Amino acid sequence: MNIFALDDFKFPYLDLKFPGQHSEERILFITREGKIILKLKLIASAIVFLMLLILGIAILNNLSFLGFDFKVLTMPYLLVWGIAFIFILWWIYRVWQKTIFVITTRRLTKFIHTTPWSRYQMSLGLDAISDTGAYQKGFFQMLFGLGYFVARSPAGAVKNFKIINISFAEDLHNYVNKLLFVFNEKKGDLDKFRPFIPGLKGETRDEYVRKVAPQFSKPKRVLPQAEGEYLSGNTTKQLPQ
């Protein structure tokens, strides 16, 4: 399935593939910048378009040269400007849609699209990560609840790997730390390592995993028993001393 054409990525991401993915490599999480960023870009473009449209119409309605009244060009101007506006909105959306960040059982990788047709890819192997972090930068991210996730490498020639403007940066930081522990200390458990689920925690998350992808679920918790007691039906009995 083409990950660049999907609007949403659904846990457990088993049917998703990205260019260059190894056969034994499994996707643990895939995301984009927060949708609020896309909405703000589209709104800002619409405001600029409207201002330029009004300015252009005002100029055409008041401009004449050698007896030629430029007012007659108003409709062609509206048509061309409208087509250009639709193209700009499409461009912004496609660049946002095709710029993705991926975490797998082997690496962190991202595809950054500079245009709808061109991109560059950057990867950082799990074995090259020294630590990770999550932080908010500036009032804008605090206002919209966004943040940065960053994975650092001790190699000076390797840039830090960042996932920007996401609303679950701290949760992702904690998840990747667990992934690194399993990768470094218990590689045999990687096949059973649960993919990341943003927005769910605790028992709610465990119940969702049991329903959607039971192969990654934890055993159900047994009700803790008080010392010297056990449950029988609806009553609690004291164990004999």
Q: Is the pLDDT of residue 115 over 90?
A: yes
Of residues 53, 9, 31, the one with CA closest to residue 99: 31
Q: Is the pLDDT of residue 2 over 50?
A: yes
The predicted pLDDT at position 199 comes to 83
By the 8 A CB rule, do 119 and 112 touch? yes
* Residues 229-237, mean pLDDT to the nearest whole number: 50
107: number of Cβ within 10 Å: 20
The predicted pLDDT at position 220 comes to 67
Whole-number average pLDDT of the chain: 84
37: number of Cβ within 10 Å: 17
The predicted pLDDT at position 71 comes to 78
Q: For the chain, list the domains and their CATH numbers.
A: 3-33+99-199 (2.30.29), 37-95 (no CATH)
Q: Is the pLDDT of residue 239 over 50?
A: no
* Residues 68-97, mean pLDDT to the nearest whole number: 88
**What single-letter amino acid sits at 239?**
L
Strand ordering across the sheet containing 161-166: 131-135, 147-152, 161-166
* Residues 74-98, mean pLDDT to the nearest whole number: 91
Q: Is the pLDDT of residue 231 over 60?
A: no
Interatomic CA distance for residues 17 and 199, integer angstroms: 23
If pLDDT is split at 50, 70 and 90, which confidence band does 83 have? very high
Q: Which tens digit of pLDDT belongs to each residue from 163-219? A: 889 888 899 999 999 999 999 998 888 888 999 988 878 888 888 888 888 888 776
If pLDDT is split at 50, 70 and 90, which confidence band does 63 have? confident
The predicted pLDDT at position 111 comes to 93
The predicted pLDDT at position 223 comes to 54
- CB contact burial 50-88 (16+ within 10 A = b; e otherwise): eeeeeeebeebeeeeeeeeeeeebeeeeeeeeeeebeee
Q: 3-class SS at 228?
A: coil
Please give the distance of CA 25 from its chain centroid, rounded to a whole number.
19
If pLDDT is split at 50, 70 and 90, which confidence band does 154 have? confident
**Sign, CA torsion 226/229/232/236:** negative
The predicted pLDDT at position 41 comes to 93
More confident call, 69 vs 229: 69
* Residues 70-89, mean pLDDT to the nearest whole number: 87
